[in-house]
Amino acid sequence: MPPAADFIGDLLPKIAAALDAASQPQPGCPARLGEAMRYSLLAPGKRLRPALVLMAAEACGGAIEAAMPAAVAVEMVHAYSLIHDDLPAMDDDDLRRGRPTCHVQFGEATAILAGDALLARAFEGMVEGFTARELPAERIVEAVRCLSRAAGPTALVGGQADDLATSGEETAPPNQLDHLESIHRRKTGALFAASLDLGAIAVAANAAQRAALGYYAESMGLAFQIVDDLLDHQGSADEVGKRTGKDLERGKLTFPGLLGVEPSRQRATQLIDEAIHSAALFGAAGERLIDLAQFVLQRSR
């Protein structure tokens, strides 16, 4: 299976240029705050979420440029979530994407504010970008609703809250597997699903296309988290780009900890097969989605 750059390589420079443009210093923004925002947003990364936005637009027969405002917004929300997740009060990580985390580099207060600012800027920039492209107002509202729901208390934030609540618990949830999947369908999967739906919204995809993307996201997002747990369980910090073994240290509920390594791999494989089946609806236009699903199963960081 080729690396991600082989099948989204043409998208990555466009995403990088858009992120750079969207995070240029703004009048009135304190210099150190702006520096912290760019440090986290432009840090080396896979860019899977913004790529998903563009790939969904492409799969639905639209132009990827039409979806770029949403791609930038999704990556800003993702960067904000990583800044906050890494804080000492949360996951307490000092390494992210092979570099010191934002709070290590800039201090906790600036890191918190940088995350806050990226979250707000995500919506501002998406509305500005879609307005400039003359997207109908009702679809702009739908896009804002989609991303805000994915970033909110019933999805990304709620999943993180439950994940923190289960760390080191003496009393396990009644059905641990259901509880663990529920956490990660929100903490990780919700933003994957929003990324795909935003791409579809941007190009006026039909109901069948959006439903297929939703099924794809549900399977692929959970598989991504299972592989992430396996990398934390078995990988090295040099390979993964962040400190590994920390979930076990903190008593967090993980897939390999609950199911074992091999059953976790089998579950991830099953989910990827389901994702590929969903992507088949798009024919040749969905080839990137299939390549991405296969990449997720075999990634090493």
Q: What pTM was estimated for this model as a whole? A: 0.89
Q: How far apart are CA 242 and CA 45, in angstroms?
A: 12
- The first and second tokens of residue 75, run together, are 């990556």
- Using an 8 Å Cβ cutoff, are 54 and 68 in contact? yes
Q: What integer pLDDT is reported at residue 245 of this predicted model?
A: 54
Q: How far apart are CA 194 and CA 206, in angstroms?
A: 16
Distance of CA 232 to CAs 35, 98, 243, 297, 300, Å?
29, 14, 8, 15, 10
Residuewise pLDDT in 10s, the chain (301 residues): 445 557 899 999 999 999 999 999 999 999 999 999 999 999 998 899 999 999 999 999 999 999 999 999 999 999 999 999 999 999 899 999 889 999 999 999 999 999 999 999 999 999 999 999 999 999 999 999 999 999 999 999 998 898 888 765 544 566 888 888 888 889 888 999 999 999 999 999 999 999 999 999 999 999 999 998 998 887 544 554 445 556 656 667 889 988 899 999 999 999 999 999 999 999 999 999 999 999 988 875 5
- Using an 8 Å Cβ cutoff, are 96 and 86 in contact? yes
Structural domains for the chain: 4-298 (1.10.600.10)
